[in-house]
Every structure is written in C-alpha cells, then in structure tokens.
Amino acid sequence: MERHFVPKTDAEYTKIDFTSDQMVKWCPGCGDHAILASLLAAFPKLHDKKENICMVSGIGCSSRIPYYVDTYGFHGIHGRACAIATGVKLANPELSVWVSMGDGDSMAIGGNHLIHAVRRNQDLDITIFNNEIYGLTKGQYSPTTKFGQVTKTSPFGTIDYPFNPGELVMGAQGTFFARTLDCVPTLTTDIMVRAAEHDGTSVIEVLQNCMIFNDKTHAAITDRAVRDDRTIVLEHGKPMIFGKEKNKGLRFNGRQLEAVTIGENGITIDDIMVHDETTEDTGIHMMLAHMGGDLPVALGVIRNVKKPSYTQLYERQMDDCMANCKYKCVDDLLNSGDTWEV
C-alpha cells in the first residue's frame, strides 16, 4: 500500500520556527507545557512545510494549542475536533492535520466523533491530553476519572466506570495507538514523529497532570522513585523488559500476562515476550493497553498496523469514478436520456 505523502521541504526548521508569538496561558506547572514543547520539538523533524500543517482542537485547556503553534489552526467547538479535522483532511489531503483534545473533549461529548475517525482510519494525528478531570470548567469528573474519586460533581465518589483510551481505540479497529507521560518529553517527541509517519489515524494518549484540579493523579507511575518499576517503554522487536535494574520482564502465564524477574525461578531472557507492534490481532495490544496495578503501565508505541487510510480509499474511488463514469461534465448529465426543446 503506497503512502499518501504530505509535501516535504528541505528547509531546516527549528523549534523556534513553530513557536507562535502568543502568550501561553496555562497554569504554571501544568503538564500541557511539556506536551507543547514536545510537539514543537517534533515538527522540525517531520520536514513538512509550515503552510501544510493544520492544528485542530475542540474546547478545553488542551484546545489552546492552535494559538501556541505557528502554523494554520482551527479552534473548534466542544467535542467536534475530529469532525472538523476530517473535513479539513478530505478537502485538502496534502495537509498534515493534528488534533488536540482533552479526555472529556475526546471521550465524552466528542466520543462518537473519535470512535468513527479511528474506525475510518482517516489520516489524522490525534493527541489526547488525559488528566482524568475537566480542568477548564473547574474540576468535574470525566470519562477517565478513577472509579470512586471525589470531585466537584461526584462529592460522594464517582460511580462511573472509566474509559481506557487504548482499549477504546483497539475496539474501534484503530491502527496506531501510543501512550506517554507529560514528564518524559523526549519519549513524547519520538512518539509524535512515529505518529506522523503512520498513514491513517494515530492516537497518542499523554498522561498529563492538572496541578490545580487533579494534582498527582498519575503519581503512582510518574514519580521518579517508582517510574522505572511501574512503567514499561515498549520497543518493536525487543524483549519487554523494565525496572530500575532492567531485570524485570513480561511473559504469558497461561492466558494472562505476568511480570517476572530475570534470574529468579529459572527465568531467562528467552522467557520474556518480544513486542510486535505490527500484528493485526488486537488481543495482545489490548492487554498491553489495559495493564496497570500489579503490571507496569505500557508506554511507547503499542500498536502500529498498516491498513489503507480513508484518504487513500477516497482518492482511489474518485479516480475510478472519473475514469469510468459516462458523464464527464454537467452538460453530459443534463443531455443524457430523453431531452426536448420548448
């Protein structure tokens, strides 16, 4: 399957070239700052022309991104970023279209649009800022808020079961899903570059901290003291190893994943699973996206499957129609069948 390339440039862009002159109006310490820095670091590596990049957003703290990146942008309405971005991409397939949404914007009011953008495999690069709360509107629980958490709209604890964005993407037949932390900007930048190289819908979940309304919601895995033991950065074709001493790994125990220590109970490196991000079967990718608790949270590119994108299929269909349709212009249509003069 050929890739639909966005026109490239030989210009040597830097991070400064993509930094707008607008004042960044996020709270000091907000994880959004790190995500923006990662995006600005990724864009020069893509060699896309600045005029061929379009940032699209909905409503929320994350949705201010179009103001802070010196490219074209569209600040949409709540939950509609994927719908707007789909129209932008269809109208001009040569654009590199980036979508920024929060967990509420993407999976509550915008959930239907997200599901179908992923299902269609439209060529969009979607970043979900997941702080597990509605930050801009001051602390209501969101579709990813932890079960039982007390918030302004769940004073006795939320009784909603939360979405796992990775599982949602897999269930919608997604072709690319990755996860990262706002506090690891180099990993975020690398993933953004990988997402741009993917032809089809790419979804990046960034576990991001809202220090005002949901501070330390991801602290169980982001704190430096525990991060290496509670997260695993997956790399295609390499054993799934993690831990401060790089001596822990993942393997199957029957039909379940389990974490083991290399060198204990006869466990060797050969017992550790090798990550395959390209397998079409969603089963193992779903399990990796679901990990947590006794298992490390999976970071990096979890799924990266080749499949014709909506853009490719649409252009092929239009080419086929124009080549085979007996009507070449409106006059042909008007003069077809029975005609008469009055």
pLDDT (tens digit, 9 = 90+) per residue, 169-210?
Answer: 999 999 999 999 999 999 999 999 999 999 999 999 999 999
Please give the residue that has the higher pLDDT: either 327 or 119. Answer: 119
Question: Which one-letter DSSP state was computed for residue 264?
Answer: S
pLDDT tens digits, residue range 105-161? 999 999 999 999 999 999 999 999 999 999 999 999 999 999 999 999 999 999 999
Which residues on neighbouring strands pair with residue 16, listed in sequence order?
none
Number of residues that this document lists for the chain: 342
Which of 172, 126, 146, 138 lies closest to 285, judged by CA? 172
pLDDT of residue 5: 63
Task: Give me the numbers of helices (H) and strands (E) for the chain, helices first please.
Answer: 12, 11
Of 112, 14, 109, 2, the residue nearest 63 (C-alpha): 109
Look-up: residue for tokens 């490239």?
8
Whether 212 shows a pLDDT value over 80: the answer reads: yes
CB-count exposure of residue 173 (10 Å: 0-12, 13-18, 19+):
middle
Rounded Cα–Cα distance for residues 221 and 211 (Å): 16
Query: What is the C-alpha to C-alpha distance for residues 295 and 287, in angstroms, rounded to an integer?
Result: 11
User: What percentage of the chain reaches a pLDDT higher than 70?
Assistant: 99
**Beta carbons of 38 and 157 less than 8 angstroms apart:** no
What pLDDT is stored for residue 7 in this prediction? 80
For residues 138 and 60, what is the distance between their CA atoms, to the nearest angstrom? 11
Listed range (87-96, 193-202, 280-289, 330-339) with the worst mean pLDDT: 330-339
Average pLDDT, the chain: 94
Q: How confident is the model at residue 1 (pLDDT cuts 50, 70, 90)?
A: very low
pLDDT for residue 252: 93
Inform me whether the pLDDT recorded for 232 exceeds 80: yes
pTM, to two decimals: 0.93
Average pLDDT, integer, range 32-58: 96
Quickly state the pLDDT bin for 4 (edges 50, 70, 90).
Answer: low
Least confident of 54-68, 137-151, 316-330: 316-330
For residues 120 and 312, what is the distance between their CA atoms, to the nearest angstrom?
A: 11
pLDDT at 45: 96
Residue 152, token pair as written in the block? 């302004």
The set of residues, in sequence order, having a beta carbon less than 8 Å from that of 226 and lying 6+ positions away, is 220
Query: In 10 A of CB 129, how many CB atoms?
Result: 28
DSSP state of 174: -
SS3 225: coil
What is the CATH code of the structural domain delimited by 15-217+309-321? 3.40.50.970
